[in-house]
Structure 1
Amino acid sequence: MRVAVASDDFLNVTGHAGKAVRFLVYEAEANVPPREVGRLDLAADLTIHEFRCDGPHPLFGMRAVIAGSAGAGFVRRLAEHGVETAITAERDPATAVSHWAAGTLAPPGPHDHEGGCGCNCG
């Protein structure tokens, strides 16, 4: 199954998923190391914060999206397309995907979406 990880630098899990433009894409399954299969570098108008759901979106083809933080709007919009949102304190993308597939992903820290934009976008 395909899992996208928000990553501003393509090295670390990053937060504010609704405004993220870069995602690592992994093929994931339980008990198998995740394999990076692609990268998304979205235009600004394709962030979930800006996207108006008026057509297909690359994240809608994922089974899950992992990020350091996400607001309720992000979670809701992806869920409408059958995509799970997983929030974590884990910073290594491959480790986060591996733990997600095993059902052992570390929960988020106390910083999640504090001081955010207030838009409920995620």
Structure 2
Amino acid sequence: MKIAVASQNRKEITGHTGMCRKFWIYSIENDAIAGKDMLELTKDQSFHETSPLEPSPLDHVQVLIAGGMGTGLARRLQRKNIQALITKQTSPDQAVEDFLNGTLKTEALEPHEHGHEHGHHHHD
């Protein structure tokens, strides 16, 4: 089994999955992490830039864990038989361990519209 975790800074789980271009790919064997590799996409390969019908470098994973994702991307992953999970957990390793143990706390998907604020707070 393969689990992808969105991690733009390589340390923490990324919130905006559509724009994310770095994903940890965990290889799972016997319900344990057997390996972990960084998959870097080009900007043109990001979910934001590609059509849902195009093949993606992430098509081989069964689960994608992220900090946030719009319903459009979640539906797109579902069509590719990829389970999309949203979590507030920030550590990729811990999120995968929790998923394997059945203890990963997940969040509901957020409706996603383009052109709105993404929860960025601007301080004057």
TM-score normalized by the length of structure 2 = 0.80
Please state whether the residue corresponding to 1:3 is helix, strand or coil. strand
Q: Does the alignment pair 1:51 with 2:50? A: yes
Matches within 5 A, 1:87-106: 87-106=86-105
Please state whether the residue corresponding to 2:28 is helix, strand or coil. strand
Matches within 5 A, 1:36-115: 36-108=35-107
Q: Deviation at 1:37?
A: 2.8
Percent identity, please: 31
**Structure 1 spans left out of the alignment, 5+ residues:** none
Give the Cα separation in 1 of the matches to 2:73 and 2:53: 16
Please state whether the residue corresponding to 1:17 is helix, strand or coil. coil
In terms of fraction of residues, the more helix-rich structure is: 1
Q: Which runs of 4+ in 1 moved over 3 A?
A: none
Alpha carbons of structure 1 residues 7 and 61: separation in structure 2 relative to 1, 3 Å: same
The one-letter code of the counterpart of 2:102 is G
Q: Which entry has the higher C-alpha Rg, 1 or 2? A: 2
RMSD: 2.4
Structure scoring higher RCO (CA < 8 A, sep ≥ 6) equals: 1
**Residue equivalent to 1:20:** 20
**Structure 2 spans left out of the alignment, 5+ residues:** 116-124
Count of residue correspondences: 115
